[in-house]
Amino acid sequence: MAKIRMVYFAWVRERIGTGEEMVEPPASVVTVGDLVDWLAETSSGHAEAFENRSRLRAAIDQDFVPLDTPIGRAQEIAIFPPVTGG
Amino acid sequence: MAKIRMVYFAWVRERIGTGEEMVEPPASVVTVGDLVDWLAETSSGHAEAFENRSRLRAAIDQDFVPLDTPIGRAQEIAIFPPVTGG
Amino acid sequence: MIHISVQQSPIDIAAEMTRAEAAGAGAVATFTGLVRADDGVGTLELEHYPGATEATLLKVAEGGVARWQLSAAIIVHRVGPMHPGERIVFVAATAAHRGAALEACAYLIDRLKTDAPFWKRETRGADAQWVEARDGDHAAAARWEARDGDHAAAARWEARDG
Amino acid sequence: MIHISVQQSPIDIAAEMTRAEAAGAGAVATFTGLVRADDGVGTLELEHYPGATEATLLKVAEGGVARWQLSAAIIVHRVGPMHPGERIVFVAATAAHRGAALEACAYLIDRLKTDAPFWKRETRGADAQWVEARDGDHAAAARWEARDGDHAAAARWEARDG
């Protein structure tokens, strides 16, 4: 699988300890949810950030998507809390 | 009956030719509508201004009222077209 | 905080916004009415009923404050002659949350349109004409009463329009 | 006319109103969100998703323009640190008549609240906390879709929130 640029915001970014990283998930990772599961194994920060799936939102190449969306040929995937703008 | 200060606005004022006048209607004038009928006889301007009753609105002492409201002890009565502010 | 003004001078939005924001709440909704620049009007003239106008605007503002617990209600209406692009009216509602501010702002301008004694005269070239009242204005104002279940008030307005 | 800005600098209401009014239509409705001065917040910090934010705001504005035939839609959102009383967001909708302007303004801010990737962090004394999303925001946004009969879009949002 190709490399994916992960970007994180708000408390997801804070818990992981970085706003972005390049990752190369195995072929078994199909959906954004699979990617989150896989990333949660990579550090305690990731595990803590991804603890409660119902509080996570995602975007593939800057389009908002549900977590069960297939990654496809994504170049940039964002994981973040529900938005609170305005 | 006591004297009443009549005030007119917009095209009612223009047709009558004045923005205000003092009037002393007879005892037979009970409601604002009666007053309008009586005033319509006083000049061709009044007659023209009061031609179409459905286009007239009124206020007694600056409170908006329907035309069938009794005049009572009114000091100031206003006759004008439907409002078009804002 | 209630601020009412019926004025000859242009409406200063920045100054009015400062007033609306000073209330310390989180949400300000405003409506501004302008002389349309696109329909051939050269001059718009606003006539009003001095005294009755201010009393009516105050009643409208107080109604909004009571109903939505506003921290500020502002109504500024210009009178006299004005030109395309100029502001005729500005209303603002300040509340803790946006739902209340947005609803109250619509209420203030809807009620003003039907309740306040203003009359518009448009001049196009040599032709001057008084603007006719729009049925839609009464429908817009009436919806606030229907939602209130305020039948006495609704009846009063129907009588007045009959 | 559509104007979108995501900026560190304070929001200049007078300048934005001039932009909104330049469209030549009769009605401008605005909404301004402020850092509340009354609940002990010392600093509010706004984080966003650069690129995605601007694209989302543009889509929201385009949606409003298409739906209400707006002559102008403006969305200005501040990012970075700010203080009580300062403006976080300003939206404006310009239309020929007030009904369209008022509705579109509510639409712009409701959609922005649920669609645009902004996150707020409040600092009260030594305690910094990310603001939780409000259920009410999704209810407010959803009503525009229900009225559209746009079931595909509604389903997408439900999936996203599930």
| Residue labelled with tokens 């008549």 | D97
Contact between C161 and C138 (Cβ < 8 Å): yes
Q: pLDDT, tens digit, for every residue of A1-51?
A: 579 999 999 999 999 999 999 999 999 999 999 999 999 999 999 999 999
Say how far residue B43 (Cα) sits from the centre of its chain: 14
- Helix (H, G, I), strand (E, B), or coil: what is residue D90? strand
Q: Interface pTM (ipTM) of the complex? A: 0.88
Say how far residue D151 (Cα) sits from the centre of its chain: 23
Residue B76 distance to chain C (closest CA, Å): 11
Asked if D38's CB is within 8 angstroms of C17's CB, the reply is no
Interface check for D57 against chain A (CB to CB < 8 A): the answer is no
Residue C55 distance to chain B (closest CA, Å): 9
Banded pLDDT at C133 (limits 50, 70, 90): confident
Contact between D113 and A82 (Cβ < 8 Å): no
Token pair recorded at residue B19:
């923005």
The CA distance from B16 to B43, in Å, is 8
Q: Is the pair C, B in contact (3+ CB pairs within 8 Å)?
A: yes
The pTM of this model reads: 0.88
Pairing verdict, β D27-34 and B20-23: unpaired
Q: pLDDT, tens digit, for every residue of B55-74?
A: 999 999 999 999 999 999 99
Return per-residue pLDDT of chain D as tens, 162 residues: 999 999 999 999 999 999 999 987 899 999 999 998 767 888 999 999 999 999 999 999 999 999 999 999 999 999 999 999 999 999 999 999 999 999 999 999 999 998 999 999 999 888 989 998 887 787 888 888 766 544 444 333 333 333
Pairing verdict, β C72-78 and C2-7: parallel
Contact between D85 and D35 (Cβ < 8 Å): yes
Contact between D11 and D64 (Cβ < 8 Å): no
Note the pLDDT of residue C151. 41
- Helix (H, G, I), strand (E, B), or coil: what is residue D44? strand
Say how far residue D104 (Cα) sits from the centre of its chain: 11
Interface check for A81 against chain D (CB to CB < 8 A): the answer is yes
Asked if D159's CB is within 8 angstroms of A66's CB, the reply is yes
Cβ neighbour number for residue C143 with a 10 Å cutoff: 13
Residue D119 distance to chain A (closest CA, Å): 5
Interface of D with C in 70-99 (CB under 8 A): 84-85, 87, 96, 98-99
Asked if D162's CB is within 8 angstroms of A85's CB, the reply is no
Among D58, D50, D14, which residue's Cα sits nearest to residue D32? Answer: D14
**Total beta-carbon pairs less than 8 A apart between chain A and chain D:** 78
Banded pLDDT at C39 (limits 50, 70, 90): confident
Among C25, C4, C1, which residue's Cα sits nearest to residue C91? Answer: C4
CA angle B12-B16-B17, nearest 5°?
115
Note the pLDDT of residue C125. 86
Among D20, D15, D29, D32, which residue's Cα sits nearest to residue D71? Answer: D20
| Beta bridge partner(s), residue B51 | none
Mean residue pLDDT of chain C comes to 87
- Helix (H, G, I), strand (E, B), or coil: what is residue B39? helix
Interface check for B80 against chain C (CB to CB < 8 A): the answer is yes
Asked if B65's CB is within 8 angstroms of C52's CB, the reply is no
